[in-house]
Structure 1
């Protein structure tokens, strides 16, 4: 389906917006110039077609302008440039003034009708009588005689280059001596690659060549134009002196003015060239499969100290279990040990362990952990993992875009984000297991029995020391109850503490695995937000830039590859 010029300009704007941070400055400048030129040209007269005659000194450019207009308006010279500023010859309705103002052309001449007397004497070098057919017959045509592009005056060359970029149809006039001049091809014609629809190359002064020489020059010129990306440009052979081929050139210009498509074709060619320049920096479509993030997340976990936190969770649970189920007389030893999670600022105070868990704190007030700084090995591993992920994600992407993706992945404060993720993760629920309470009550009961048994034995020993008759205590078999209570309560308390220790170890491992899963999810979120998402955004931009540039480029009319140009022959 055909795409309008306005739609192509919109697509080009989308492509530039997506690639503004990556595309080279010269490409952005080219697109900006095309957008400005298109907007201004479309607002001006659509009833006029601007044709510019450009050429080098001595090519007969001005003579050819006089021939096709039927009036001796352009001064003619051979050894030095005589066109100091552009001359406009206008035929057609009023309204060309704003267009010429935009072009910056001050010298203007209006042709009223074919064959009219322009009041200008004939050139001494021109034929005394020109056929009527050589007069431009179609209204709406503006012919510009540009300064010589090889003028010794720099201002003349600059003016010619400026107008070459603005006019609707280009007529390049070359002569048999300098048609292969490298300056013409490299500085001008090659820059118009992709504009073949609005470029006409005229080999002038063919009256100086024999028929065989003319055909050889023409074929060589066609070859050079093909190398310049203008293989389909129209090529005419003329002689301003004899009038040979001038009628064909006039007919071509009349047809262009009649169809009024040259302005649109020029803008479309400019948009195509700009879009092709953008496409050259977007590369080919990349694979749709996303790279694995396993190594990335694992490396970030080590950099964030997740193994230390998991070990701290296990140690904290073991400490809590020992304080809750251990033999009470020995618990003071455990109380002298610091909670591993509290040392990392990840635990709760012991006075609040039985309270309901609160929501994780979010936002800028989120606390930090007290994990030791990431070691050099872990930091290097994390950086390598991030770089490897970016490299895998940007396979096939041009280097500037890959560098932009790497910069996006490294732009954020990843260590701070990792520390916040660990600090904001609930690694250990503060609620104790129910069986801990039962075991704790049993331990205090056994301690009470042992203490009572010990007091009973102490009382009996005191009576014996005071020589007071000692009553015989009840027995369980051969063992007195006081001894059984004191020794049995202590032994059973130690046994229960050992068995509880085994249960606590199992629970500590389970909670360490749960903490590892939660920390893994938190680190994966950080990896997504700080690495995957920025990289994906940059890659989405390159896809958007490429697709929009493809919509802006006309199918089958992209600029051809430009081979290196050899020197002038």
Structure 2
């Protein structure tokens, strides 16, 4: 039965400790170092305590100099086992009185208590009563020993006296820090024999009030007198009941978990923090640093040039070929085929190697643009971490970033303009060649007629189309229609260029947003996610411990 209980306790504690360990694993470099070490040490300490003894309950009798700790221990044991001096501290080292159950040696070795007294026939069995050094001793070694043992024992009996029960040092340095340990804490008001009955009631009420202010409302307060024996039997029975139930060590470990979990939650703050996303201000600032407006303007210019080469009046197209494609000049479009007029893909491709180029030939961002981008990154980080506690916000901010290379590569590898030739270009181009052929036919016809006249040959009267001879109508009509088509196509190309620029801007902003997500947002989102995991795990551990304690 005892072994099954131990396994159950170990499993319950493991579930709690797991949650706290998960909390610390989420933020080891953000949480205070001592807190991280305490959490990591708790698992080892808990395993040692459960392994060493499940039949012993270690009760520490702690208090200030002159409060009567050692006298109370003697009264509980029934004989003089502790040295008493009312004027100065006499307990230099902890002394343990083991009641009823043998084999407490390994547990006392773990507690590093060398001075031991056995009570094999006494009741309650399994109770280990520890007389502690004074916590307010003038000797530092005494105080450190008392604080060490307070961190290890299963139950604490804190002894107050009518003279110093309201001492601020006692409450601020010790009792107030034990709020999480209210279920493994008893408070004893010793030396009540020095008070009149009505004074004792008033003093007990004041003690309970001070404990409530310390967060220890509901902790049991027992009035005793080690000198007269008043209340000692009640305290002895209370300790006997605790030792019989063998639950104090489990409650102490759960209180340890809850205390550490509360401290982790305090380090994580109380506000929920949303996972951040890149906003328009950040992307726009990075796009400006990446020269996206320049590339968008070049994409529109490349579209207009390609449209002119495909739809312009054929005899004048060679003038357009003299102009450089602005995207090609930036290494964002392939070189044009010497005879072709097809539009470039708008992608950084080297025709000889067929590989995406790593960089554009855009001029690097100037100091003003870099400063603007860096400021936008800082502003975005400040907004993203505004709800985080300072330590987490500091971890999320990180170092300043220089994204020039990543942004340039993102621009270089983004298809800026669609690679396919618009159908209307093909239709207008075909129509231009048709009207050119008609104009050439008309000019040739007129030339033939003029040649026949120059040779004094009979010149036939050409057919007429209304008032105009057909050859003249073909020559003039073809030229005028071709120029008209070129003008209309140029207007249409302007509209298409604006649309092409808009599409290029959208693609480039998407590429810049991906860089922002990977290099700016992702590190901050990781810290926020770890903060959420840390806070959730610690809150879960503390809440679970409180449910088990019925709070």
TM-score band by shorter chain is 0.7 to 0.9
Q: How far apart in 2 are the matches of 1:556 and 1:463? A: 115
- Kept in 1, the 8 Å contact 2:101–2:125? The answer is yes
- The structural deviation recorded for 1:344 is 2.3
Contact 2:333 2:346 in 1 (8 A): no
Show the counterpart of 1:369: 360
- Higher mean displacement: 167-176 or 180-189: 180-189
* Distance of 1:5 and 1:152 partners within structure 2: 38
Counterpart-to-counterpart distance in 2, 1:306 and 1:9: 52
3-state SS, counterpart of residue 281 of structure 1:
helix
1:450·1:488 contact (CA, 8 Å) conserved in 2?
A: yes
Aligned residue among 30, 35, 54 for 1:27: 35
Partner of residue 422 from structure 1, selected from 398, 401, 411: 411
State the SS of the aligned residue for 2:65: coil
Any unmatched runs of 5+ in structure 1?
A: 115-136, 559-569
Query: Counterpart in 1 of 2:497?
Result: 508
d(CA) in 1 for partners of 2:101, 2:21 = 34
- Structure 2: how far apart are the matches of 1:217 and 1:387? 58
Measure the CA separation in 1 of the matches of 2:203 and 2:209.
Answer: 10
Aligned equivalents of 1:291, 1:357: Cα separation in 2: 31
SS of the equivalent of 1:171 reads strand
In the alignment, is residue 518 of structure 1 matched against residue 526 of structure 2?
Answer: no
Matched with 1:154 is: 140
Calculate the aligned-residue CA RMSD, in Å.
3.7
C-alpha distance in 2, partners of 1:443/1:197? Answer: 96
1:239 aligns with 2:225: yes
- Give the direction of change, closer, same or farther, for the CA distance of 1:300–1:382 in structure 2 (3 Å limit): same
> Structure 2: which 5+ runs fail to align?
1-8, 350-354
Which one is further off, 299-308 or 189-198?
299-308
Give the Cα separation in 1 of the matches to 2:325 and 2:161: 94
Q: 1:274 to 1:240 in 2, by over 3 A?
A: same
Q: Which residue of 2 aligns with 1:105?
A: 113
- In the alignment, is residue 172 of structure 1 matched against residue 180 of structure 2? no
- For residues 526 and 520 of structure 2, the distance between their equivalents in structure 1, rounded to whole angstroms, comes to 10
Shift of 1:258: 0.7
Of residues 193, 202, 207 in structure 2, which corresponds to 1:216? Answer: 202
Corresponding residue for 1:206? 192
CA deviations on 1:196-224 (whole Å, 9 max, x unpaired) are: 11112222222222323323332222222
Which residue number in structure 1 is paired with residue 270 of structure 2? Answer: 284
- Supply the distance in 2 between the matched residues of 1:450 and 1:287 (Cα, whole angstroms): 73
Q: Please tell me whether the aligned partners of residues 425 and 522 of structure 1 are also in contact (alpha carbons under 8 angstroms).
A: yes
Q: CA deviation at 1:416?
A: 3.8
Contact 1:311 1:512 in 2 (8 A): yes
Q: Counterparts in 2 of 1:41-56, with a 5 A limit?
A: 41-56=49-64
Q: TM-score, normalised by structure 2?
A: 0.83
Q: Is the 8 A contact 2:334 2:346 kept in 1?
A: no
Measured in 2, the distance between the counterparts of 1:287 and 1:185 equals: 36
Deviation at 1:241, TM superposition (A): 1.9
Partners of 2:238 and 2:41 lie apart in 1 by 28
2:25 equivalent in structure 1: 17
Contact 1:52 1:169 in 2 (8 A): yes
Per the normalisation by structure 1, the TM-score is 0.81
- Secondary structure at the aligned position of 1:350 is classed as coil
> Given the superposition, is the C-alpha separation of residues 349 and 104 from structure 1 closer, same or farther in structure 2, using an over 3 Å criterion?
same
CA distance in 1, matches of 2:486, 2:278: 47
Correspondence for 1:542:
531
Whether the 8 Å CA contact 1:353–1:430 is kept in 2: the answer is: no
User: What SS does structure 1 have at the residue aligned with 2:415?
Assistant: coil
Once the two structures are overlaid, the 10-residue window that deviates more, 373-382 or 166-175, is 373-382
Counterparts of 1:168 and 1:476 in 2: how far apart (Å)? Answer: 122
Give the drift of 1:275. Answer: 1.1
The count of corresponding residues between Structure 1 and Structure 2 is: 529
Q: 1:322 Cα deviation (Å)? A: 1.8
In structure 1, what is the Cα distance between the partners aligned to 2:243 and 2:420? 88
Cα offset, 1:343, TM superposition: 2.4
Helix, strand or coil at the partner of 2:129: strand
CA pair 403-432 structure 1, distance change in 2 beyond 3 A:
same
**Post-superposition offset of 1:50:** 0.4
